[in-house]
Amino acid sequence: MGQAKRRKDAGERLSHCRTCTYCCSLPQIEALAKPAYSPCTHIADGGCSIHGRPERPGACAAYACAYLTARLANAPERNRIPHPLDCGAYFHRDPREKLIFVFVDPARPFLWKASSLLVDFLRLQVGAGFVLFITDRGRQMVIRDPGTFSEILARDFVALADREGRALDVPSFRVVGSTPPA
């Protein structure tokens, strides 16, 4: 849900987001009654068809993922956060509550683990006390320590949980939203 769906003339955002639509497709957006893993019906021609109109939810106008936020602010960490399309995932960070929310592309669920840029960045954040909420193929894992983060990287907990019909190893592992398309 986000600035991904910018006006066509919002050139800076457009160039930063490229063709990404993750934040308008992967999460559940209550204000739009949009289920998870379902593209928003307002995505049109690489932009948001209701941009600037009152029916556009405030949450959309306010949103930018960590990649876009760092680029727009020209923040020092801008080169340490990969573009979502290059790592198959996007995230946003709440520095006040020390929370990070990661959304994994269900069509490429393992790509983020192969992105040393993203893995290194997230590992550092966990080491600094941030809690990660990783939403992957309809399940959410909550990671509070570097050891659990390493376990998540080494094993496909989503496949294990799906296969065995139960949550495995990660205490706060749970099902979220709707099931992503196969």
Instruction: Tell me which residues touch ligand SF4 (CB under 6 A).
Output: 1-5, 17, 20-24, 29, 40, 42-43, 48, 50, 56, 60, 64-65, 67-68, 84, 90
CB of 61 to ligand SF4, least distance (A): 8
CB of 163 to ligand SF4, least distance (A): 30
Closer of 66 and 170 to ligand SF4 (Cβ): 66
Closer of 31 and 153 to ligand SF4 (Cβ): 31
CB of 132 to ligand SF4, least distance (A): 17
Three-state SS letters, the chain: CCCCCCCCCCHHHHHHHCCCCHHHHCCCEHHHCECCCCCCCCEECCEECCCCCCCCCHHHHHCCCHHHHHHHHCCHHHHHCCCHHHHCEEEEEECCCCEEEEEECCCCCCHHHHCHHHHHHHHHHHHCCCEEEEEECCEEEEECCHHHHHHHHHCCHHHHHHHHCCCCCCCCCEECCCCCCC
Closer of 67 and 130 to ligand SF4 (Cβ): 67
Closest residue to ligand SF4, Cβ-based? 4
Closer of 60 and 143 to ligand SF4 (Cβ): 60
CB of 137 to ligand SF4, least distance (A): 18
